[in-house]
Amino acid sequence: MSHIYDLIIIGSGPAGLAAAVYAQRAKLDTLVVEKAMVSGGQVLTTYEVDNYPGLPGIGGYDLGLKFREHADRLGARFVEDEVLKIEDGSRGAVKSVVCQGNTYEARALILATGAVHRKLGVPGEEELAGAGVSYCATCDGAFFRNKVTAVIGGGDVAVEDAIFLARMCSKVYLIHRRNELRAAKSLQENLLSLDNVEVIWDTVADSINGDGMVKSLSLTNVKDGQKRELEVQGVFIAVGISPESRAFEGLVDMDHGYIRAGEDAATSAPGIFAAGDVRTKPLRQIITAAADGANAITSVERYLVEN
């Protein structure tokens, strides 16, 4: 008979790692399942985190490492495997987490799988991915030192990417489909103060062009329909995220792929909780993901006592 855990946490970004820390402190028999080789989630691709209390300016990779080290120090158990599906029984029943390498069982689950970068969906994007097209400026920016790059998007991540790239690229274009940015005002002020950054307003990308490597972008102004070709060597796409929730379809209620769950992390399925970027919430930040992990453990403890 396979071992039945009190709790299985799926994902080890800030939400999953915070949940692991709180679960260890609560003395819950817990397993963390993570498909990536390294824990930390999206924070690993963030060059600098300046809004996590007490650690201003810490590197994203370093912060992710600290989260994991904390969980390790408390004795959290991790396994590298990818979840394919979850088989859920009636109320109070053991839940089976079916993975590529094994099947694990637990009385309760926390879904903390986070989200991934959204694709632009234009010709050339897939073909030139890794050959000038990137979704992570902090990962790939160094390859474009002294080159001309473009960032597509208008939120915090897009503006942060443009600021980061401006430190090493000769020219950075920020292309946004509207006439104002959604990013925090402090980020906007920083961006607009940079001499080598140019914002192209009211514009969308029609295609990413190149033969083996990115050469240019085909753009259209959405107000006057004017088309232009912009020569660039790199294109960084920052148009939002999509939740990593496909494995849970039909298991819990969702809203556009995000798992419906409130501050208590409870989903529509008894004994299954959601934390971090994968759940419905107004603000997706490292600190809110970590808070979700803590809240989820409180709900898990209550569920286990009552069931």
CATH code of the domain in which 173 resides: 3.50.50.60
Rounded Cα gap, residues 220 and 209, in angstroms: 14
> Residue 259 belongs to what H/E stretch?
strand 258-259
Report DSSP letters for 207-239, one per residue.
Answer: EEEESSSEEEEEEEETTT--EEEEE-SEEEE-S
Provide the 3-class DSSP secondary structure of residue 254. strand
**In a 10 Å sphere around its CB, with 0-12 CB exposed, 13-18 middle and 19+ buried, how is residue 67 labelled?**
buried
CA–CA distance, 18 with 24 (Å, rounded to integer): 10
Q: What's residue 57's pLDDT?
A: 86
Answer whether residue 141 is part of any domain.
yes
Mark whether 177 and 222 lie in a shared domain. yes
Does residue 299 lie in a domain region? yes
Q: Pairing relation of β-strands 171-175 and 197-200?
A: parallel
Catalytic residue among 81, 88, 99, 140: 140
Same domain, 223 and 156: yes
Q: How confident is the model at residue 226 (pLDDT cuts 50, 70, 90)?
A: very high
Whether 156 is in a domain gets the answer yes
**Cα 170 vs. chain centroid, distance in angstroms?**
29
Residue 165 lies in a domain: yes
Q: Domain end: 184, 201, 235, which one?
A: 235
- Averaged confidence pLDDT in the chain: 94
User: Is 96 in the same domain as 139?
Assistant: no
How buried is residue 152: exposed, middle or buried, by Cβ count under 10 Å (0-12/13-18/19+)? buried
247 and 106 in a single domain? The answer is yes
43-47, 75-79, 161-165, 171-175: segment of lowest average pLDDT: 43-47
Domain of residue 62, residue span: 2-114+240-304
* Same-domain status, 164 and 210: yes
Q: Is residue 125 part of a domain?
A: no
Together in a domain, 245 and 283: yes
First to last CA, the chain: 21
8 A C-beta contact, residue 78 and residue 39: yes
Tell me what pLDDT residue 158 has.
95
Is the C-alpha dihedral spanning 16, 295, 157, 258 positive or negative?
Answer: positive
**Does 123 map to a domain?**
no
Whether residues 70 and 163 share a domain: the answer is: no
Q: What is the pLDDT of residues 185-202, one digit of tens each?
A: 999 999 999 999 999 999
The residue with tokens 């000769």 is: 170
Of 185, 209, 235, which residue constitutes the final position of a domain?
A: 235
The single residue of 139, 156, 202, 206 carrying the catalytic annotation is 139
CA distance 255 to 282: 13
Q: Are residues 251 and 109 in the same domain?
A: yes
Q: What is the pLDDT of residue 49?
A: 82
**Does pLDDT of 255 surpass 90?**
yes
Catalytic residue among 81, 88, 99, 136: 136
- Cα–Cα nearest to 256, from 269, 247, 265, 243: 243
Q: Evaluate whether residue 122 is within a structural domain.
A: no
Q: Is 169 a catalytic residue?
A: no
Give the pLDDT confidence score for residue 90 in this predicted structure.
Answer: 52
What is the band of 88 on the pLDDT scale with cuts at 50, 70, 90? confident
End of a domain among 235, 267, 287? 235
Domain count, the chain: 2
- Confidence (pLDDT) at 214: 97
Is 99 among the residues known to form the active site?
A: no
- Is residue 27 located within the same domain as residue 99? yes
